[in-house]
Amino acid sequence: MDRLILTNFKNYAQAEVALCGKVNCFVGNNGAGKTNLLDAAYYLSFCKSYFNPIDSQNIRVGEEYFALHGHYGGDQASCIVRRGKGKEMRWNKKVCPTLASHIGRLPLVMVSPSDQALITGGSELRRKFIDGVIAQADRGYLDHLLQYHKALDQRNKLLKQMWDDRVWDEAMVSLWDVQLCQHGEELYRCRRSFEESFAPLFDRYYHEIAGVDEPGRLIYRRDERPLAQQLEESRRDDRYAQYTTCGPHKDDLDLMLSDDMTVRRFGSQGQQKSFALALKLAQFQYLHDVLGDKPLLLLDDIFDKLDMLRVKQLIALVGSDRFGQVLLTDTQPGRVQSIFDEMPDLQHRIFHVEHGQITISQ
């Protein structure tokens, strides 16, 4: 990304940032708007905010719209949200026919303190992580995922309605089962392939970040029965539960310290943080390997929980040739400046952010 332009986005009335090709650091106090700049870049890749899913709440107070523009070499992406009128994505000034058609065009990986929830939170978060990674690399997967969830929603509504009406229509349930199997088996296939490619990348980055030779692996957990068999054998349970109790929407990604110890239950805080960061860096490598392009890497306020040695190791890692352009935030200008002073050959640019105003420090 060469330039990022914001209009009426969160706390920015108008801002434009010219970025360097390697490490761009936004420094300033909490609440100054550093993270909002990263979120703007995220919007241009995923058509949504990383932090707030309600688009209208990202419009600056008192305004009727926000607009984001990103320049990527000779290409341009734009996102425009109008209060009460929805959202519009444009690529090279042409309106994208659907939001889904834009996903994957600008690969991006966001690393933030909230990633800890991937370790400590429920299985839904880890499924979303898997889906988000694969969808950036495989447009067909995203189509199957959207169609699967449409069919799942209709099947669940049918189960609830039949329960309320005290009737049972086997034929209608079977109709939605066909749809679920058509798309669900493709989700299973893609997720298995993803695990085979992704697990070794995770293992490599975990050992590199942890700095010690300790176990750390991930396992994709699913019901191994064919989906048609799962749905048929669970119909009685589904009827009484009033929702679909099996399928890809129930899978999980186990993060393991050993064969019987999950990092969620038995890992130290340091191990959990290392697992979360390794997941995101492996995501970067996976997308690079599949797409051939290096995704934009966003690092939001992740240094406060790391000691200075780990911070230097991380900057050296993401500043290496293995990674491309990086946008990061920090609250301590002196900290990042001292690190860059020790790495004079690392291309970088430091911006000072204060109350929606951005000035270049270096």
Q: What is the DSSP secondary structure assignment for residue 87, as one 8-state letter?
A: E
CA distance 348 to 362: 8
How much is the pLDDT for 325? 96
Q: For CATH 1.20.1050.90, list the domain ranges present in the chain.
A: 118-292
Orientation of helix 333-342 relative to helix 308-318, angle to 10°: 60
Residue 337: per-residue pLDDT: 86
**C-beta separation of 305 from 270 below 8 A:** no
- Comma-separated ranges of CATH 3.40.50.300 domains in the chain: 1-107+295-362
Cα distances (Å, whole numbers) of residue 7 to 50, 79, 104, 108, 237: 18, 11, 24, 22, 51
Structural class in CATH, domain 118-292:
mainly alpha
Give the pLDDT score at 211: 67
Residue 31's pLDDT is 87
Residue 119 has a pLDDT of 93
The DSSP bridge pattern shows strands 252-258 and 261-262 to be antiparallel
Mean pLDDT split into 10-residue runs, the chain, 362 residues: 97 96 93 94 96 94 97 96 94 94 93 90 94 92 96 97 94 96 97 95 86 78 96 96 97 88 86 89 94 94 75 84 93 85 90 90 66
Q: How many CA atoms lie within 13 A of 265 on its CB side?
A: 6
pLDDT value for 257: 86
DSSP classification of residue 59: B
Query: How far is the C-alpha of 46 from the C-alpha of 60, rounded, in Å?
Result: 20
Report pLDDT for 272: 87
Of the candidate CATH numbers 3.40.50.620, 3.40.1280.10, 3.40.50.720, 3.40.50.300, the domain formed by 1-107+295-362 belongs to 3.40.50.300
By the 10 Å C-beta count (0-12 exposed, 13-18 middle, 19+ buried), 333 is classed as: middle
Model's pTM, two decimal places? 0.88
